[in-house]
Amino acid sequence: MSNSGLQPTIDLEVYRYRPEQQAEPTYDTFTVPLRDEWVILDALNYIKDELDGSLSYRWSCRMGVCGSCGMMANGEPVLTCAAFLKSYAPGSIRVEPLANFPVARDLIISMDDFMEKMNRIQPWIITDEEKPLEEGEYLQTPDQVDEYKQFSMCINCLLCYSACPIYGMEPSFIGPAAIALAQRYNLDSRDHGQETRMDILSTDDGIWQCTFVGECSEVCPENVDPAGAIQRYKVTSTNDWWKSKLLPWTSKQ
């Protein structure tokens, strides 16, 4: 951090990768105003508007809702719309794309692998039989909503995948957000897709890859607790296994 006149400043070391121009990534350093109300996203917008219009990154709502502005700040996955510059002063801030994902350009990652895994767990309500429209809504009690509400708060920011050492070493791992979202539907009283999702999540790339490091829950900006969802799944899977051994007639045919 430096002080230029009356306005303090802070340096951002920004990851740059433009595949049409360079074979390997580099870093560019930009000096931006250090204002109490500014977050990293404000600094990136300042760079884009005032210093280098070629800088590429994702953002949308600026309110911690859309999840699109996730990046690495000094090695930690954060929502840049919620990471204040003053929290990093007086040092500089190294801004990089989220770890564990292919980089498309500058701070933009490819989300293709994540989207495929999310779709694999069938994140929608599966019903055995649709009731006639004239019977009205599928009503739920407040307790029934509370059962799954925590796991419904995921904003798909991918911070948990970036923080997960298992996903970093084993990209085939279906990952914390997908498992938490599967739990959101499994715990919904209107859903009947639990067995289908358990078949998917009990594979080699599913819940048993997780070693319960817990970093996914630590970085989650919405307190979804994907680590808790994974452990809950493990208990259910273990109970199902024991039932199949001790009470084989109760297992699915």
Helices (DSSP H) in 15-95: which residue ranges? Answer: 40-46
Same domain, 176 and 81: no
List pLDDT tens digits, range 14-41: 999 999 999 999 999 999 999 999 999 9
Instruction: Look at residue 19 in the predicted model and tell me its pLDDT.
Output: 94
Same domain, 87 and 122: no
Same domain, 55 and 133: no
> Sign of dihedral through CA atoms 127, 130, 135, 137?
positive
Same domain, 199 and 84: no
What is the Cα Rg of the chain in Å? 22
Within a 13 Å sphere around the CA of 252, how many CA atoms are in the beta-carbon half? 6
Q: In the listed set 76, 109, 142, which residue is the last one of a domain according to the structure?
A: 109
Same domain, 49 and 22: yes
Digit-by-digit pLDDT tens for the chain (253 residues) are 555 457 899 999 999 999 999 999 999 999 999 999 999 999 999 999 999 999 999 999 999 999 999 999 999 999 999 999 999 999 999 999 999 999 999 999 999 999 999 999 999 999 988 888 899 888 999 999 999 999 999 999 999 999 999 999 999 999 999 999 999 999 999 999 999 999 999 888 999 999 888 999 999 999 999 999 898 888 877 766 556 656 665 555 4
Same domain, 138 and 58: no
Rounded alpha-carbon distances, angstroms, from residue 134 to 27, 43, 131, 138, 168: 61, 54, 8, 11, 49
Q: In the listed set 72, 94, 109, which residue is the last one of a domain according to the structure?
A: 109
Give dist(CA 75, CA 98) in Å, integer.
9
Same domain, 121 and 211: yes
Give dist(CA 125, CA 220) in Å, integer.
24
Same domain, 52 and 154: no
Instruction: Look at residue 253 in the predicted model and tell me its pLDDT.
Output: 47
Instruction: Look at residue 212 in the predicted model and tell me its pLDDT.
Output: 85
Same domain, 38 and 151: no
What is the token pair recorded at 157? 């920011």
Same domain, 23 and 146: no
Q: 8 preceded by cis ω (within 30°)?
A: no
Same domain, 80 and 29: yes
Q: In the listed set 109, 138, 157, which residue is the last one of a domain according to the structure?
A: 109
What DSSP element (H or E) covers 166? Answer: helix 165-169
Domain of 32, CATH number, reads 3.10.20.30
Predicted TM-score (pTM) of the model is 0.88
Same domain, 67 and 140: no
Q: Which domain holds residue 220?
A: 112-250
Domain of 138, CATH number, reads 1.10.1060.10
